[in-house]
Each structure stands twice: as structure tokens, then as C-alpha cells.
Amino acid sequence: MIEISAQVDLSHPSDRVWQALTNPQLLSRWFTETETVAQAPQRLLLHTAGLPGFHAAVDAEVTDQRAPELLVLQCQEGDRRTQLTCTITRTADGCRLSVEETMEHGTWPAEDRDHRERYYQQTLTGRLPAILDWLAFQQVDLRRGEDPPTAELPAIVLSGRVPAPADRRRRLAIAAAVTAATLATGAALWALLPGDADQTAAPAPLPPPPTAGATSDNAAPRTTRSSRPSSAAAARSTARPSRTPTATPSRTPTSAAPSAAAMTARYETTATRIFGYSGQVVLDNPDGPAAKSWTLVVTLAEGGTVTNAQGANWQQDGQAVTFTGAPVPAGQSQTITFDVRNPDPRTKAPEGCTIDGTPCTGL
């Protein structure tokens, strides 16, 4: 019987994920410090003592492996013996990694099991994608026909080794192509500029949106033509003052105050990676007479994609990701977590978040 399970959808090819699973140095970077056992290449010592759900180091031995699809380990942790199974399945966007652990000897207190499962899920959705993104920087993935395209960037020389001449020529060709495309795009944009525009002046900043009763600083001053009044006009002005109508304030209906029992939501970025981040939204239903249905809409930056979500049903349409689920009981909350893959490394949060049309806090 499966007692602990966790999974994540990754935008990386399966062989790259296999490398992160089986290389002890990479495993130490995203899971826990790992040592190989002398004279036993199939054994690993995982320094897990003190991690959530672990009470001692784990002596793991590989009992089955089929690269890059299946890895099975028998783990001994004190008086517990478990079997840990890692399965990699190809998907349209990369692959899915599933981790399952079953007890063969000993017992798991419920609290330890929950903490251990949560630690697995956090490392799979937070640290592992960051290591895979780092690996993508070191590799030039030329096998475009086998796996979906991922972060295909020029390799970075970390050890001081000078690239081979063929590598330099290939990278120079790539750089030349990127430069040519950039110049072509700039020329096209230049051609679309209006002919009478002053191209030497810096573009003026956009004015702030007008508010009720405010006057724009950029508006031209209103001038009044003054003339010397005639004596008759002066006499009329002295004899009878003009009747200036008094402005009557407009009757603007005030909007109804929001209901105190409306659902609220607060957003938080819980982890960041080179090409993405992990987000969390906590929905709160204040004390009231009944549970409330809800619809959460998270607006991602352009090109962003949700790869994994927990705590709700979800679907993505363009930049909008809609989350729905069971009504939240009065006085309780609902937590939704999701992982975002984003091509721009500067983007570490959504562009917007609303709960039933009301903006979330935290953004």
C-alpha cells in the first residue's frame, strides 16, 4: 500500500531529470546531502536526520533502475525499512516525476508521515526545478525532435576549459543570428514611426489618469479677452449686478459598502527559480451563517504557464488561470498552491489576483 506520494510536472526532458535523480552531487543540491558508499556503487548514504519526517540518516540501495524511466531504492532508516520508487513519464511539455514510498518493516506515526510527504512535495516543486534550470544553462539541447524545447542556452564554462573551435563557431553563428533578428525588428519599428515625430526628443511620460475635480498640469491655460467697458455698460454693471447661478452639487449615488462577510484572499510567493516561482493563495471566509462558493482568478505574466497546482480545480486560458473548489465553511480558510514556469527570469509573481472580482492582498 502506498503511504507517501508526491509528484510534479516539469518542463524539462526526462534524461535531465534522471541526471538530477542519480547524480549524488546534484541530489545533494536539491534533496539532502548525499554520500556514496565505498566498494558499493549501488548504495547511497542520505543525511536526512533532522529533516521534516526523518529521525536518522537513510542507507539507500538501488534495487532496480531503467534509465530514464524508473528508479527503485530500498531504504533503511533506523528500525524502519521502506521502498522508494521514482517514476518518470514523458508529457507534452516535458515529463512528470512521481515519488512513492511504502513501509516494509516498522511503522510511521501519522505526524511523521505527513511531514515527510510535505517535504517531498516541497523539494519536487521548489528546489528540483531550480537545479534543472541550472542544468539547462550548462547544456545545449540539440535533440529538438525527441523532447519538447526547454531552456536551450549556450553552455557556461565553469572549470576554465576553453571551448573547442567548432563550439565557438557555432555560438558565434547563434549570436550573429540573434543580433540580425534584433536589428531587423528595430528597423521595422523605426519604419512604423510617424514621419513628423520629433525623434531627437525623449518621449514624454504618460500623464496620470484624471480624477474627479482635478485639472491636468499639461492643459493649456484658459485666457480671457479683456476690453475696456463702455460707460453705458459700466453704468449697467453698477446699477444691476449680474445674477450668477449657484452651482448645485450633483447627486452622485454612493456605492454600497462591501459586505463584511465577503470572501478574502491573500497571495504569497513561497519559492523562486531561474525560470519560474511557486505561489500560494489563502482564501478566508469570515464568520457568517453559511459556507461560500468562490472563484479565484490569477493573471500570469505573458508566457507564464502553471505546471502544477494543489488545493483546487484549475484551468488556464491565456494568461488567466481560474481556480474553483468546494465552498469554504464559515470561519475557515482554503489554501491553494501552484507552480509557474515563466520564460522571463525577472518575473517572480503574477500580474494580478482576484477572488470573486475583489483583488487579493499581497500583490
pLDDT the model gives residue 211? 43
Q: Please give the span between the terminal C-alpha atoms of the chain, in angstroms, as a whole number.
A: 42
Please give the single-letter amino acid code of residue 156: I
With cell 526523518, the residue in question is 54
What CATH number has the domain bearing residue 69? 3.30.530.20
Contact 114, 261 (CB under 8 A): no
Answer for the pair 48, 54: CB distance below 8 angstroms, yes or no: yes
Q: ∠245-248-253 over CA atoms, to 5°?
A: 165
Q: Sign of the C-alpha dihedral, residues 195, 201, 205, 207? A: negative
Of 6, 11, 4, 8, the C-alpha closest to 304 is: 11
Say if 179 falls within a structural domain.
no
Q: Which domain holds residue 298?
A: 264-359
What CATH number is associated with residue 293? 2.60.40.290
Cell 541530489 maps to which residue? 27
Tell whether 241 is covered by a domain.
no
Backbone angles phi, psi at 91, to 5 degrees: -130, 175
Number of domains in the chain: 2
Query: Could you list the pLDDT tens digit for every one of the 363 residues in the chain?
Result: 668 999 999 999 999 999 999 999 999 999 999 999 888 888 999 999 889 999 899 999 999 999 999 999 999 998 899 999 999 999 998 999 999 999 999 888 888 889 999 999 999 998 999 999 988 887 754 454 555 555 444 443 444 444 455 555 555 555 555 555 555 544 444 444 444 444 334 444 434 444 444 433 444 344 344 444 444 444 444 444 445 455 555 555 555 444 556 889 999 999 888 788 999 999 998 876 788 889 999 999 999 999 889 999 999 999 999 999 999 998 889 999 999 988 888 899 999 999 999 999 998
Range 43-79 burial, b when 16+ CB lie within 10 A, else e: bbebebeebebbeebbbbeeeebeebeebbbbbbbee
**Among 108, 138, 168, which residue terminates a domain?**
138
Model pLDDT for residues 160-204, shown as the tens digit of each residue: 444 455 555 555 555 555 555 555 544 444 444 444 444 334 444
The answer to whether residue 159 sits within a structural domain is no
Q: Is residue 318 part of a domain?
A: yes
What's the pLDDT tens digit per position in 217-247?
A: 444 344 344 444 444 444 444 444 445 455 5
Q: Of 115, 138, 161, which residue constitutes the final position of a domain?
A: 138
Whether residue 219 is contained in a domain is answered as no
